[in-house]
C-alpha cells in the first residue's frame, strides 16, 4: 500500500508574507489529514519561512530546483545542502518548465538526482511528453528515455525515497488534464520502466504522481486509478482552500 503523495508547486508565486500566511492557514486544514504525505514547494526566498511556519505539522517543504554541485561559483544557484538546511526534505527535479525554458536535459536531471539523494533530500522527478510527441506516437519512447537516463546509476538502497511525477506538458497550466485512463496508462508504463531501472521492489513502492491541471473536481477520479499515487499541483495549489480540497480528494479517492 503506497501512501498518497500530494505536492503544491508554487512556481514563481508568493512573497514571504503571502507564503507564510498560506502556510499558517494550510497547516490548520491539514491537522486532521492522516495517511497522506503533503508537501509545499515555495520559491527559494520563502522556503525557510514556510518551513518554520509548518514546523511540528505533517506538511513538508520542497525546493523547486537545485544545482548538482554542493557549492561553488554558480551565480543564482542553490545546492542540495542549502535546501536541507533551510528546512526542505524534498526537491522537484526536471520540471518541464526547467527542461523547456532553462535547458535541462536527462543528464542534468540525473546529476541533480544524485546530488539530492546524497544530501538526504527526497527527489520528485518530473517526466512527460509534449503534445507533438504524443500525437506522433512517441509518448512511450520519450518516457522511456527520460526514466532510463534520468534514473541511471542510482544506488538501490537510496532509491526508496524517489517520487516520479508524470506531467504531460500539454496538460500543464492549460486546463486540459489527462483523463483518468490516459493517466493510468502512462503511470503503469512508468512503473514498469522504474522496475527496469531500479528493480521491482523499488517500483512497487514508488509513488508515481500525476501533474497537469489537477484541481478539486478531477483529483479524486485521477487518484482512484491503480497506479496514480497522488498529485503535483500548480495553479490549484496557490490557494490553501483549493489545495486542501485536492489533498482530501487525492488521499481518499473512493469517497
Ligand atoms: P498546473 O501545473 O496544475 O497549473 O497545470 C502543474 C505543474 O506544473 O506541476
Q: Where are the beta strands (DSSP E) in 15-162?
A: 37-41, 59-63, 90-93, 122-127
Distance 72 CA to ligand 1 centre (A): 31
When pLDDT is cut at 50, 70 and 90, the band that residue 121 belongs to is: very high
pLDDT attached to residue 255 = 40
Ligand 1: does its nearest atom lie under 6 Å from the Cβ of 80?
A: no
* Ramachandran class of 213: left when φ > 0, alpha when ψ lies in -120 to 50, beta otherwise: left
pTM for this entry: 0.97
* Ramachandran class of 122: left when φ > 0, alpha when ψ lies in -120 to 50, beta otherwise: beta
**What angle (nearest 5°) sits at the alpha carbon of residue 236, between those of residues 230 and 240?**
95
Under 8 Å between Cβ of 148 and 107: no
163-194 pLDDT per residue, tens: 999 999 999 989 888 999 999 999 999 999 99
Distance 172 CA to ligand 1 centre (A): 5
- Looking at ligand 1, which residue's alpha carbon is closest to its atom 9? 234
C-alpha cell of residue 84: 536541507
The phi and psi torsions of 199 (rounded to 5 degrees) equal: 100, 155
Closest ligand 1 atom, residue 165 Cα: 9
Q: Please tell me the distance from the alpha carbon of residue 184 to that of residue 130, in angstroms, as a whole number.
A: 17
- Confirm whether 48 is a catalytic residue: no
- Confirm whether 189 is a catalytic residue: no
- What percent of the chain lies above the pLDDT cut of 70? 99
Q: Please tell me the distance from the alpha carbon of residue 32 to that of residue 164, in angstroms, as a whole number.
A: 26
Looking at CATH, the fold of the domain delimited by 5-250 is given as TIM Barrel (3.20.20)
Residue 218 buriedness (CB in 10 A; 0-12 / 13-18 / 19+): buried
- Mutating to test ligand 1, I would choose from 13, 95, 167, 245 the residue with most ligand atoms within 8 A of its C-beta, which is 167
Ligand 1: does its nearest atom lie under 6 Å from the Cβ of 168?
A: no
Distance 48 CA to ligand 1 centre (A): 23
Amino acid at each position: 500500500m503506497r501512501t498518497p503523495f500530494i505536492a503544491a508547486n508554487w512556481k514563481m508565486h508568493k512573497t514571504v508574507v503571502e507564503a507564510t500566511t498560506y502556510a499558517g492557514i494550510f497547516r490548520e486544514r491539514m491537522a486532521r489529514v492522516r495517511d497522506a504525505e503533503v508537501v509545499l514547494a515555495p520559491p527559494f526566498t520563502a522556503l525557510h519561512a514556510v518551513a518554520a511556519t509548518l514546523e511540528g505539522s505533517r506538511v513538508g517543504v520542497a525546493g523547486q530546483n537545485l544545482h548538482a554541485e554542493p557549492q561553488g561559483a554558480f551565480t543564482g544557484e542553490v545546492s542540495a545542502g542549502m535546501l536541507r538546511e533551510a528546512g526542505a526534505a524534498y526537491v522537484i527535479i526536471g520540471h518541464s518548465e526547467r527542461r523547456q525554458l532553462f535547458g535541462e536535459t536527462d543528464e542534468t536531471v540525473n546529476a541533480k538526482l544524485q546530488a539530492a539523494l546524497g544530501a538526504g533530500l527526497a527527489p520528485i522527478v518530473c517526466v512527460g511528453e509534449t503534445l507533438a510527441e504524443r500525437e506522433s506516437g512517441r509518448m512511450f519512447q520519450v518516457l522511456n528515455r527520460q526514466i532510463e537516463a534520468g534514473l541511471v546509476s542510482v544506488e538501490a538502497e537510496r532509491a526508496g525515497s524517489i517520487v516520479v511525477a508524470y506531467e504531460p506538458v500539454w496538460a500543464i497550466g492549460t486546463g486540459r488534464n489527462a483523463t483518468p485512463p490516459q493517466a493510468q496508462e502512462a503511470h503503469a508504463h512508468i512503473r514498469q520502466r522504474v522496475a527496469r531501472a531500479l528493480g521491482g521492489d523499488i517500483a512497487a513502492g514508488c509513488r508515481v504522481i500525476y501533474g497537469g491541471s489537477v484541481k478539486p473536481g478531477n483529483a479524486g477520479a485521477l487518484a482512484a486509478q491503480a497506479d496514480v499515487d497522488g498529485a503535483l499541483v500548480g495553479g490549484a495549489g496557490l490557494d490553501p482552500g483549493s489545495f486542501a480540497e485536492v489533498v482530501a480528494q487525492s488521499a481518499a479517492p473512493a469517497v
